[in-house]
Amino acid sequence: MTAVVPRHIVVLCHPEQHSFNAAMASAYCADVRQHGHDVLVRDLYAMGFDPVLKSVERAGPDLRSMPDVRDEQAVIAGADVFVLVYPIWFGGPPAMLKGYLERVLGMGAMPARLPNHAATGVLTGKRLLSFTSSATDSEWLATQGQLDALITGFDRYIEHGFAMQKSDHVHFGAVTADLDPSVFDRHRQQVQAQARSTCAAIDEMALHRIAAG
């Protein structure tokens, strides 16, 4: 029987092609490929993704999926790991990413099922990993409660509502245009370490499934 190669979907949400976020996404992908896993990047701004939810896309009897959403769901359906890479703007993710969540990940999900972990879909059973950055330092964000609020209101909501595995969140503070190269390298190494850890966890789960099956 041919072994199925684990797949990671990296959703990058930043308008600048040479941003810190793009560099971290590239670092993650490089280590995942080195580990022997597949990885696919969905660069929302480069794709020109339309984040505006249409009336007919809301859950209900008149629900109708749009071609771009169907195509995106087909791309991410077979993934084992779902990675979000984005900056924190005004205390939350960019509007583009929120729209992606609403249109693609939440397609057909009934809100009443979210509290019971019953909103099954393309994310069910997958691992959620987030890499975020902010111009302000992490200590300031902590005193404002912003990072905890983001993780609780975004990561945990997605994780619990869509019946995903336990999520991880890595944040980089004080990321500005004049970021010291040594700090940049340290952040990149942290992303690479997280990539290796995630790959190892996925491989271990696969071995357990084989042993149990």
Determine the average pLDDT of the residues in 42-67: 90
CATH at residue 34: 3.40.50.360
What is the pLDDT confidence band of residue 12, given thresholds at 50, 70 and 90? very high
Q: How far apart are CA 119 and CA 109, in angstroms?
A: 5
6 contacts: CB under 8 Å, gap ≥ 6: 37, 38, 80, 81, 199, 202, 203, 206
Domain coverage including residue 130: 7-212
pLDDT digits (tens, 9 = 90+) for 112-155: 655 655 556 778 889 999 999 999 998 888 888 888 999 998 99
Number of structural domains found in the chain: 1
Determine the average pLDDT of the residues in 16-29: 97
Is 11's pLDDT higher than 90?
yes
Determine the average pLDDT of the residues in 75-100: 94
Determine the average pLDDT of the residues in 70-93: 93
In a domain, 99, yes or no: yes
Q: How far apart are CA 82 and CA 102, in angstroms?
A: 16
pLDDT digits (tens, 9 = 90+) for 172-201: 999 999 999 999 999 999 999 999 999 999
Q: Which range is least confidently modeled, 21-35, 101-115, 124-138, 154-168?
A: 101-115
In a domain, 119, yes or no: yes
In a domain, 1, yes or no: no
Nearest one of 174, 213, 203 to 6, comparing CA atoms: 203
Q: What is the pTM of this model?
A: 0.92
In a domain, 103, yes or no: yes
201 contacts: CB under 8 Å, gap ≥ 6: 127
In a domain, 180, yes or no: yes
Say what percent of the chain tops pLDDT 90. Answer: 65
In a domain, 56, yes or no: yes
In a domain, 2, yes or no: no
Is 1's pLDDT higher than 90?
no
In a domain, 132, yes or no: yes
